[in-house]
Each structure stands twice: as C-alpha cells, then as structure tokens.
Structure 1
Amino acid sequence: MADENGETRRQRNERFGATSPELHIPDAVTHVWDWFWLLSGRRHSGPEALTFADVGNWARLLQLELLPEEVSMLMAMDDQYLRAVREDQKAARERAQQQ
C-alpha cells in the first residue's frame, strides 16, 4: 500500500538499499489478498483495525458470501498489517528524536 507520497514500503526499502521479503500468494487465496487491500484502503482515519461490521457491511454491499475462513484470514492479515504499521511509526518517532 502506498503512503501519502505514493511510495510503497517495497519502494522505500529499495531506495535505502534494504531488502523486502518475496511474497508468494497461493492462487486459491489471491481473492482474499485483493479483498484485504481493498478494505484496508477504506479505513476511516489512520491505522485503525478493520471490524467484523466493516467486513460484513462491505460483503453485503457487494453481495459476496464470505466463508468463515476468509473472514479469519482478513482479520489475521489486518492484525499483522497493524503490527507492521505500529513498528514503522515507532521507528519514525525514534528517528525524529535522534535528529
């Protein structure tokens, strides 16, 4: 996901000479990966957690029948996404304090 300047984490890593992990998304779940980024891009403000209500309302509007496993995947992906965002925010605060 791009930041406010349009730069993704992978692009930022490349700019600073850092490596990014390679991702392999199995074909059977690429739709969940796509759904996550679609939902994630609709957060109200900042890095707030997706709720079951958010996912349920979104699925109803698009007339999607999500499997319980797909909902679990979305929530697990969101947990990891928020963990990474918080780590990035902490690192940015630490860099700012060092200047």
Structure 2
Amino acid sequence: MASLLVIHVNGPINSGKTTIDRALARVLPDARFIDGDDHDAPDDAPLHEQWAIALERIVSRIAHACAFSDCFVDTSSASADAYVEEIARRAALPAA
C-alpha cells in the first residue's frame, strides 16, 4: 500500500482554512480535499453522534482516496490523533 500524506488544517471560524486547503489541493499532485464542516450529521443530534457521523464520513473518504491518491487535505476540527487511531484501527495497523 502506498503511503498517505494527510494534511489537517485547523483554526478559528472564518480564518481562511477552506481557502488555504483548496489552494493546497490545487497545487499538490493528485490531492483530495475534504471540508470537515460538511459532516452530514443532523443539527439536532447529540454532539457525540455528530462527532461519530463526522468521523465515519471522513474515515470513509480517506479510505476511498487511498485508492486514487497519496495526498489528502482535511479541514475538520476533530483531533488529528483521533483520526490516526481510527484509521489505524480500521486498517489493523499500529497507530503512529
């Protein structure tokens, strides 16, 4: 399996994260972009459910991107460690 570079950009609301990430995705070869604000969870769902839905969606998008790219850009505000642990668990790999 090819290595995967994940760039996680975090910052306060309206600070330009999406603008920077779209620019990165344009200049990095074969990059993919996921907007972490687009989590598909119902607004009235409990916060832990919103996080679970968002994490599931992002992990799924990363797994799909692995088949087509070695570079991925993520703008969500969730912990990078949580993503690493979840992706490693699903891939049965030791977490970094």
The reply to whether TM is greater than 0.5 is: no
Larger relative contact order (CA 8 Å, sep ≥ 6):
2
Of structures 1 and 2, the larger Rg is shown by 1
Considering fraction of residues, name the structure with more helix. 1
